C-alpha cells in the first residue's frame, strides 16, 4: 500500500486539506497515512463502501478494550455508554430510543421556533465589525438543542464550554492538558445531568429528556449511565458540527459572490447540500475491522483500524463532476458529510433545517453582509471549522 505523510496539525493543511486529499486519491483508494498509523480511504467509492460494510464498526473489539487511564475515567464512562461507539444490538436499542424524538414531523415542527430565534439573534448584531460565528452560528444550534432535549437555555454557555473541552479529545492537537480538561468537563456534565434528571423525574414535560427518563423507568433497557451518555452525545453533537456548517457556509457564499437565487426556496436545498459537500465540518472518522477482510486490495485483520476521509470523498471527481468547484446549482447526490450506514447522523434533518432557515434569513436581513478579514480555520483536525468569522452587517 502506498504511504502518505501529512501532519494533521500542519497549518497549510489545516487551512486547505483538499490538495493533499486530491493527491492521495489520485494514486489509489486506500493509502497508509503515517501520522495516524492506519490505512485511510480517500475516494468516494471506498468511503461509501466502508461506511456501509458491517464487517467494520465503531465499537472497539472486546479483546482490545482496556479500562484506560484513571485520570480519564469520567470521559471514558460517557464514551463507553454512547450509541456513537456502540454496535448492534446495543446500538440498535439506543438509536431506536433517540430516533423517536427525531422524527421528521418533530423536526419540521421546530421551523417557526428556529426562524424566530434567527431574527432575535440578528436583532442584536452591532454596527461595528463582529464575530458572526459567536453571535449567530453558535447560538442557534445550541439553543435549539437545549429546547429539544429540555435543558434550560441559560445552561448554553456552560454546555458550550463542556462540549468544547470534550470534543478536543477527538482533535489532532490533543495533549495531556486536553485530557484533564475533558475529564473535568465530563465529570461536571455528568453531575449536572444526574441532578437535573432527578429534578425532572418529578416534573415531566414534552421533551426528549422526559422521554428517555420514561424509557429508563419503564425498564426499556436504558441504564442511567446510558441515559446520561445519550444526553451528553446529543447536546455535544447537536451543535458542534452545525455551528461550523453554518460558518463554513457563510464564508463559502461570501467568497463565491453570493447569487440570491441560491437562497430562494427552490434553490436552498441544493445550496445546503453543496456547502456540506464542498466544505464539511467533520473530515475523518475511523472504523475497526471485525474479521479478516480484503477490500480495495488490502487485507485487514480483526482489530485493524481504517480512517474514512469524508472531506476527501466529497471532492472526488468520480463522485461529483467538477468536484473542486462550489456549485450550489448542482443536482443533489448523497455526499458523506453526515456519514452513512448504521451510524448515519441522527441529527441530519435538524442540521439541514437549521441551515436551510438560518442562511436565507441572515442574507435577507443583512443584504450588505461582508467579511472584514479573511477567515481562518482552527487547528482542530479532524474538525474543520473557523476560529472566528469577522463581518459587518
Is the Cβ of residue 61 or residue 339 nearer to ligand HEM in the bound state? 339
Residue 247: CB partners within 8 Å, gap ≥ 6? 132, 133, 137, 375, 385, 386, 389
Q: Write out the binding residues for ligand HEM, residues 45-64 only, by CB under 6 A.
A: 58
Closest contact distance (angstroms) between CB of 245 and ligand HEM is 4
Cell readout for 257 is 459572490
Using omega within 30 degrees of 0 as the cis cutoff, is the peptide bond preceding 382 cis? yes
Say how many C-beta atoms besides its own lie within 10 A of residue 176's C-beta: 9
Alpha carbon of residue 362 to chain centroid: 22
C-alpha to C-alpha distance for 266 and 196, rounded to whole angstroms: 43
Is the Cβ of residue 121 or residue 393 nearer to ligand HEM in the bound state? 121
Under rule CB under 6 A, residue 145 binds ligand HEM:
yes
Residue whose C-alpha cell is 441560491: 262
Site string for ligand HEM, 263-292 (x = CB under 6 A): -----------------xxx--x-------
Closest contact distance (angstroms) between CB of 244 and ligand HEM is 8
Is the Cβ of residue 96 or residue 205 nearer to ligand HEM in the bound state? 96
C-alpha to C-alpha distance for 336 and 333, rounded to whole angstroms: 10
Q: Which of 245, 248, 335, 380 binds ligand HEM (CB under 6 A)?
A: 245
Cell readout for 44 is 468516494
Closest contact distance (angstroms) between CB of 240 and ligand HEM is 8
C-alpha to C-alpha distance for 215 and 207, rounded to whole angstroms: 13
Closest contact distance (angstroms) between CB of 202 and ligand HEM is 26
Q: Which residue is nearest to ligand HEM (CB)?
A: 347
Cell readout for 228 is 446520561
Which string of DSSP letters, residue by residue, matches 241-292? HHHHHHHHHHHHHHHT---GGGGSTTTHHHHHHHHHHHS-SB-EEEEEE-S-
Q: Which of 347, 360, 375, 385 binds ligand HEM (CB under 6 A)?
A: 347
3-class DSSP state of 210: helix
Closest contact distance (angstroms) between CB of 149 and ligand HEM is 9
Site string for ligand HEM, 13-52 (x = CB under 6 A): ----------------------------------------
Closest contact distance (angstroms) between CB of 335 and ligand HEM is 10
Cell readout for 303 is 482489530
- Residues within the interface to ligand HEM (CB under 6 A): 58, 83-84, 95, 145, 233-234, 237-238, 241-242, 245, 280-282, 285, 337-339, 343, 345-347, 350-351
Amino acid at each position: 500500500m502506498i504511504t502518505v505523510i501529512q501532519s494533521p496539525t500542519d497549518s497549510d493543511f489545516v487551512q486547505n486539506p483538499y490538495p493533499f486529499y486530491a493527491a492521495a486519491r489520485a494514486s489509489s483508494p486506500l493509502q497508509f497515512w503515517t501520522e495516524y498509523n492506519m490505512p485511510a480511504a480517500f475516494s468516494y467509492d471506498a468511503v461509501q463502501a466502508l461506511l456501509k460494510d458491517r464487517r467494520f464498526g465503531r465499537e472497539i473489539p472486546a479483546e482490545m478494550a482496556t479500562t484506560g487511564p484513571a485520570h480519564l475515567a469520567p470521559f471514558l464512562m460517557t464514551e463507553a455508554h454512547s450509541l456513537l461507539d456502540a454496535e448492534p444490538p446495543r446500538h440498535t436499542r439506543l438509536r431506536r430510543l433517540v430516533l423517536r424524538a427525531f422524527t421528521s414531523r418533530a423536526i419540521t415542527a421546530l421551523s417557526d421556533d428556529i426562524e424566530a430565534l434567527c431574527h432575535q439573534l440578528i436583532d442584536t448584531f452591532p454596527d461595528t465589525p463582529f464575530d458572526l460565528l459567536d453571535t449567530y452560528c453558535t447560538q442557534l444550534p445550541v439553543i435549539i438543542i437545549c429546547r429539544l432535549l429540555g435543558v434550560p437555555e441559560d445552561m448554553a454557555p456552560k454546555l458550550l464550554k463542556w462540549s468544547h473541552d470534550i470534543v478536543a479529545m477527538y482533535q489532532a492537537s490533543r495533549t495531556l492538558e486536553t485530557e484533564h480538561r475533558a475529564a473535568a468537563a465530563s465529570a461536571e456534565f455528568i453531575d449536572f445531568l444526574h441532578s437535573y434528571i432527578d429534578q425532572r423525574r418529578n416534573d415531566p414535560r414534552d421533551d426528549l429528556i422526559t422521554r428517555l427518563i420514561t424509557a429508563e423507568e419503564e425498564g426499556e433497557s436504558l441504564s442511567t449511565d446510558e441515559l446520561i451518555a445519550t444526553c451528553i452525545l446529543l447536546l455535544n453533537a447537536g451543535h458542534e458540527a452545525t455551528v461550523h456548517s453554518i460558518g463554513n457556509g457563510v464564508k463559502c457564499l461570501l467568497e463565491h459572490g453570493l447569487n440570491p437565487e441560491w437562497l430562494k426556496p427552490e434553490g436552498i436545498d441544493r445550496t445546503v447540500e453543496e456547502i456540506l459537500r464542498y466544505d464539511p465540518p467533520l473530515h475523518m472518522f475511523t472504523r475497526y475491522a471485525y474479521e479478516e477482510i480484503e477490500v480495495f486490495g488490502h487485507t485487514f485483520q480483526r482489530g485493524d483500524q481504517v480512517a474514512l476521509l469524508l472531506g476527501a470523498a466529497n471532492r472526488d471527481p468520480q463522485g461529483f463532476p467538477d468536484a473542486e468547484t462550489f456549485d450550489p446549482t448542482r443536482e443533489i447526490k448523497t455526499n458523506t458529510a453526515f456519514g452513512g450506514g448504521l451510524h448515519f447522523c441522527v441529527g441530519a434533518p435538524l442540521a439541514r433545517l437549521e441551515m436551510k432557515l438560518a442562511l436565507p434569513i441572515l442574507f435577507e436581513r443583512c443584504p450588505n453582509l461582508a467579511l472584514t478579514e479573511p477567515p481562518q480555520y482552527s487547528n482542530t483536525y479532524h474538525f474543520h471549522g473557523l476560529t472566528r468569522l469577522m463581518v459587518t452587517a
